Structure 1
Amino acid sequence: MELLHQAFGLLTGTIIPFLVVLTLIVFVHEMGHYLAGRWSGIGITAFSVGFGPEIAGFTDRRGTRWKLSAIPLGGYVKFLGDEDAASTPDYEKFNRLPEAERARTFLGAALWKRAVTVAAGPIANFILAIAIFSVAFALYGRPVADPVVAEVRESSAAATAGIQPGDLLVAIDGEPVRTFEDVRRYVSVRPETPIVVTIRRHGVEQDLRMVPQKTELTDQFGNRMEVGVIGIVTTEATGNFRVVHYGPLEALEQGALQSWYVVSGTFDYLANVVTGRMKADQIGGPIRVAQVSGQMASIGVAALLQLAAVLSVSIGLLNLMPVPVLDGGHLMFYAIEAVRGKPIGPRTQEIAFRIGMALILMLTVFATWNDTFGRLG
């Protein structure tokens, strides 16, 4: 009975939230490709959420097979003339088609139409993230605190630089900060990197130089991560804790801004990994996403949706990497085609796709290793 109870808890607390989040992100991504392809006049033979054998589906009047497949770790749109789900062109089949039919294939479409269709997937992910953040801010508001220091940790970077309780932080490296979260977000991705903090004390501004210390933090679920900290704390009284509510346009602006923070934070983290300031153990795969989805679901629907927004941005960025097989790899080929005036040869593309697939498999293995033996509690 105990084993059954644990299995039920795993299903409802982790697997179902994970599948809901992933299915939403995949569906929107592939819908971006689908709508752009339809708009461009390209024939579409299949729209699948998931890979592998079909579980359920139907064929619409245009001949597109809409299906739910067995392996729920992605999806694809298969265009007319594609050899497989990765949009590898079938040149032999293409050459056998009548001229009028070739124009409806992905390979036979104009270069700009192919580029728009490919780019539409990641763009749809960014739009989804902005929409989720915007709705969350409009419905629930946003908790904020003023960047006023209530306490300075002993032996911290802030203490060494001379920050004192009551100081108001107004800028970091010349960028204005309006909330305590702005400070945390900027500092957390800059461990061991010199920064200049502008404070206001008794109406007078001054610049203080410091180096955020790399510190390992553990969240409420036991997940461990390395971040930069300067050692300042605010309190409800000092920081004037409050919830700010936004109108529709303001919420949209904040949603776009929050999505940009995810993008910039991702690049900052990768730069830190390359320079050795941070470890690569925060790169996770499906196991980690499933566990975090369950954790966010335990907090509430709003937290789970905001996780979906963050993951949507991340998947959009991943797909824009210039790696063959991914959307970014296709766009790279189209850029080369635009410069050369003709597409890359089939043999070269085949070799590039194999290299790209190998890179993706290596990344998957690495992420799964982090999921299994990494720092997630």
Structure 2
Amino acid sequence: MNAVGGLIWAIACFLVVIGPLIFIHEMGHYLVGRWFGVKAEAFSIGFGNEVVGWTDKRGTRWKIATLPLGGYVRFAGDMNPASQPSPEWLSLPAEERRQTFQAKPVWQRFLIVFAGPAVNFLFAFVVIAGVLVAYGEPVTPPVISAVLPHSAAASAGLQVGDRIVSLDGGAVRRFEDVGFYTALHPDMTVQIGLIRAGRALTVPAHMQAETLADKFGNKARIGRLGIYPIRGAMRPVPLIEVPRRSADLVVQSVGTTLTAIGQIIGGERSAKELSGPVGMARVAGEQATLGWFAMVLLMVGISINLGFINLLPIPMLDGGHLLFYIVEAVRRRPVQPQVQEWAFRSGLALLLGLMLFVTFNDLGSTGLWQKLAGLMG
């Protein structure tokens, strides 16, 4: 596949992945809004000029726009970013005003906004539950069968037969938990709780850092302990356990994101690992070559991250609105419009700056900057 064909393929795969996730996110807002009697004037996938659309019998304009990097539901009366009453809103007839977003009590507005991220988490929960029912889960006892020479495990004195029961105080249920946790902590010291010959021990191990590249050339810096497990197997998950296991995996994914963000803020991990739409498009194209199951798992991961990111208390995101509603509920009156306006302008600037930064990272990971430097050299 040539460069142009590869680009078209990546964009198409990105739209296949991100389009449904945007749709279900906005559908969460829309359905809860309708439940509370709020009229939706527009439901858009993407921003910018309308490409195609239609108006339903309730007067909602459903449309697809030119820039498919998000979407929105515009509720009746939602005439400014802060969703504050305006002269236009006050001039509406009483019946119309009752169907507007601003007319609803703060707890209803909170739930309408919260519904978008919640549906993203729900989507991931349902898909993971389906995978657990259909395929089960890998379960390997956290018992060491071999220790690599000169590894972090060897330096820490880990031995064959040791059963790992905790990492930094967090319980370990299966060997897969060990690899998952240590990979997130390259060049860091981890406190390992273990059972050796019936005796409980805690030993520190400094993870070795290793940079791995997948078949597509994507690189990741991970931590390595240097141990091998005993033989494991796929275990069917009893139906009664499926909801809990699915929820655990969603929470674990959010925890991984929080850990990675904390490491970036703390300087333990490079900010170059942050990725944006360009990077997601490239990954979507790569995963599509591995089959539909890989694409579904990618959608699960992106859906969880969409839900998480939208809950961050940054103005312009759902979390920013939710923060103002919490303050309003505590104060029993809304935050002043000028404060909200300032906050939303600042939030927009922050998001635009972050978008530029991650796009710069994404383009750099494609080798663009090196190629340009070569042409100018």
Report the TM-score when normalising by structure 1.
0.91
Does the alignment pair 1:110 with 2:101? no
Matched residue type, 1:319: N
Equivalent residue in structure 1 for 2:236, among 220, 230, 245: 245
Measured after TM superposition, the shift of residue 272 of structure 1 is: 1.1
Q: What SS is found at the alignment partner of 2:289? A: helix
The whole-number CA distance in structure 2 between the counterparts of 1:232 and 1:332 is 45
Q: What SS is found at the alignment partner of 1:169? A: strand
Structure 1 match to 2:351: 360
Structure 2 match to 1:267: 258
Equivalent residue in structure 2 for 1:342, among 312, 333, 353: 333
Measured after TM superposition, the shift of residue 281 of structure 1 is: 1.8
Measured after TM superposition, the shift of residue 88 of structure 1 is: 4.5
Q: Percent identity?
A: 40
The whole-number CA distance in structure 2 between the counterparts of 1:203 and 1:174 is 19
Structure 1 match to 2:8: 11
The whole-number CA distance in structure 2 between the counterparts of 1:321 and 1:225 is 25
The whole-number CA distance in structure 1 between the counterparts of 2:79 and 2:11 is 32
Does the alignment pair 1:293 with 2:290? no
Equivalent residue in structure 2 for 1:166, among 155, 161, 164: 161
CA contact (8 A) 2:82 2:337 kept: no
Does the alignment pair 1:44 with 2:35? no
- Structure 1 segments, 4+ long, off by >4 Å, are 86-90
Matched residue type, 1:273: I
Measured after TM superposition, the shift of residue 192 of structure 1 is: 4.0
Does the alignment pair 1:196 with 2:191? yes
CA contact (8 A) 2:310 2:319 kept: yes
The whole-number CA distance in structure 1 between the counterparts of 2:334 and 2:103 is 11
Q: What SS is found at the alignment partner of 1:154? A: coil
CA contact (8 A) 2:82 2:340 kept: no
Extract unaligned runs of 5+ from structure 1. Answer: none
Measured after TM superposition, the shift of residue 340 of structure 1 is: 2.2
Equivalent residue in structure 1 for 2:127, among 116, 128, 132: 132
The alignment yields a C-alpha RMSD, in angstroms, of 2.2
Measured after TM superposition, the shift of residue 339 of structure 1 is: 2.3
CA contact (8 A) 1:337 1:343 kept: yes
Matched residue type, 2:74: K
Structure 2 match to 1:83: 79
Does the alignment pair 1:72 with 2:68? yes
Structure 1 match to 2:319: 328
Q: What SS is found at the alignment partner of 1:208? A: strand
The whole-number CA distance in structure 1 between the counterparts of 2:156 and 2:147 is 11
CA contact (8 A) 1:281 1:375 kept: no
Structure 2 match to 1:59: 55
User: Once structures 1 and 2 are overlaid, which stretch shifts more, 109-118 or 182-191?
Assistant: 182-191
Structure 2 match to 1:318: 309
- Cα pair distance change 1:252/1:294, threshold 3 Å: farther
CA contact (8 A) 1:81 1:94 kept: yes
- Cα pair distance change 1:69/1:281, threshold 3 Å: same
The whole-number CA distance in structure 1 between the counterparts of 2:255 and 2:265 is 15
User: Once structures 1 and 2 are overlaid, which stretch shifts more, 215-224 or 67-76?
Assistant: 215-224
- Cα pair distance change 1:150/1:56, threshold 3 Å: same
Deviations 1:122-175 (A, max 9, x none): 111110111111112222333343323233233322111101233332222343
Aligned length: 368
Deviations 1:52-100 (A, max 9, x none): 111222111111111111211111000001236x564461211211233
Matched residue type, 1:326: L
Q: How does 1:200-279 map to 2 (within 5 A)?
A: 200-234=195-229, 239-279=230-270
Q: What SS is found at the alignment partner of 1:150? A: strand
- Cα pair distance change 1:70/1:122, threshold 3 Å: same
The whole-number CA distance in structure 2 between the counterparts of 1:199 and 1:57 is 60
- Cα pair distance change 1:222/1:233, threshold 3 Å: farther
Deviations 1:289-312 (A, max 9, x none): 111112222222112111111111
CA contact (8 A) 1:79 1:87 kept: no
Deviations 1:199-258 (A, max 9, x none): 333444432222223332222322111222222233xxxx22322233444333222111
Q: What SS is found at the alignment partner of 2:347? A: helix
CA contact (8 A) 1:222 1:376 kept: no
Q: What SS is found at the alignment partner of 2:138? A: strand
Does the alignment pair 1:282 with 2:273? yes
- Cα pair distance change 1:376/1:79, threshold 3 Å: farther
Q: What SS is found at the alignment partner of 1:139? A: helix
CA contact (8 A) 1:223 1:376 kept: no
The whole-number CA distance in structure 2 between the counterparts of 1:240 and 1:154 is 20
The whole-number CA distance in structure 2 between the counterparts of 1:155 and 1:276 is 27
